[in-house]
Amino acid sequence: MTLKEKIQEDFKKILKEKKEIEISTLRMLNAAILNREKEKRYKLSKEKPDLKEKDLEKESQLIDEETIEVIFSEVKKRKEAIVEFEKGKRLQPPLHPTRKKHISDLVEKEKKEMEILKKYLPELLSEEEIKKLAKEVIEKFGAKDFGRVMGQLMPKVKGKAEGGTVSKVVKELLGS
């Protein structure tokens, strides 16, 4: 079973259980996956115009790594929203002007959504593991500039670590 199929299966289960936050989160995730598949299908149709519709649809299905990228993207959106809502607390009245909800309620909702999404991500590498891999890259390639190290390291940790964490570790290593 692919990750996409697991998400769809869980969505069907959650629909029966009528869990609102999970339903909306997985509905949003399914839409994001579908959009990514449409983008992929469009690119494939331009690259291989002779492909039949059935083959095009089959080739545009996301593999697990691509689905993980979509989930990472959705988690990142939630993190950014939380930061913005918390910034807004200082600038706006306690009620959100359009949703009539307290900003803290919105932050909690985003955090819950993020936790639901993280269930579908593989276990992330620890900072120590990332540091070890980064040191190996620096030693192997003798890279001293940030861009080069990141360029070599990111493919190795793709789907296993967040870019911000990797960036922070590399900056610490290169700074010392």
Sorted by where each starts, the structural domains of the chain and their CATH numbers stand as 3-118 (1.10.1510.10), 127-175 (1.10.10)
Q: Is 95 helix (H, G, I), strand (E, B) or coil?
A: strand
pTM: 0.76
Is 71 a residue whose pLDDT tops 50?
yes
Rounded CA gap, 135 and 138, in Å?
Answer: 5
Question: Which pLDDT belongs to residue 97?
Answer: 56
Question: Which pLDDT belongs to residue 91?
Answer: 45
Is 100 a residue whose pLDDT tops 60?
no
Cα-flanking dihedrals φ and ψ of residue 117, to 5°? -65, -40
